[in-house]
Amino acid sequence: MTELDRIDRKILDILQRQGRISMTDLAEQIGLSTSPCSER
């Protein structure tokens, strides 16, 4: 099993609080473009 890094944990934290957030808004909050954010 792969370890979760800081970015993965941040994505999970945001999704737990805002489960219906758009991928674009999530990527903006994380500081990634939409594609890498979506792949994670």
* Mean model confidence pLDDT for the chain: 96
The yes/no answer on whether domain 6-39 falls in CATH 1.10.8.60 is no
What's the token pair of residue 32?
A: 């990634």
Backbone φ and ψ for 21, nearest 5 degrees, come out as -65, 145
pTM of the model: 0.86
Tell me the pLDDT tens digit for each residue of 12-24: 999 999 999 999 9
Dist CA 37 CA 40 (whole Å): 5
Q: Helices (DSSP H) in the chain: which residue ranges?
A: 6-17, 23-30, 34-39
Cβ atoms of residues 11 and 30 within 8 Å: yes
